[in-house]
Amino acid sequence: MTGSTLSSDGLDARRRRLLFRSWHRGTREADLIMGRFADVHLPGFSDAELEQYEHLLEALETDLLSWVTGVAEVPPEHDTAMFRRVRDFHLAVGR
């Protein structure tokens, strides 16, 4: 996969911005983790879920990769239900 499979047509401005940020993290690995997750889940997020996802996107991509792959422990401020959804999605898709 080389990019988003979700069209930004019909998405509100906040979701379009988050979709773009998900696919432009800085490393290809982080793009695939966050981008694929966003393609599937972003359209259906509630406002609270959007806030949680935005918070997760603020993490450095190197930290995010370490947490998702289990190389580093997830700090409490990022060890959220949203992070676990992203991690579980990535692990399921990677199989």
Q: What is the pLDDT of residues 72-91, one digit of tens each?
A: 999 999 999 999 999 999 98
Q: Per-residue pLDDT tens for 60-69? A: 999 999 999 9
What is the 3-class SS of the chain, one letter each residue?
Answer: CCCCCCCCCCCCHHHHHHHHHHHCCCCHHHHHHHHHHHHHHHHHCCHHHHHHHHHHHCCCHHHHHHHHHCCCCCCCCCCCHHHHHHHHHHHHHCC
Is the predicted pLDDT of residue 38 greater than 50, yes or no?
yes
Q: Is the pTM of this model over 0.85?
A: yes
In which band, very low, low, confident or very high, does the pLDDT at 27 lie, cut at 50, 70 and 90?
confident
Is residue 12 very low, low, confident or very high in pLDDT (cuts 50, 70, 90)?
confident
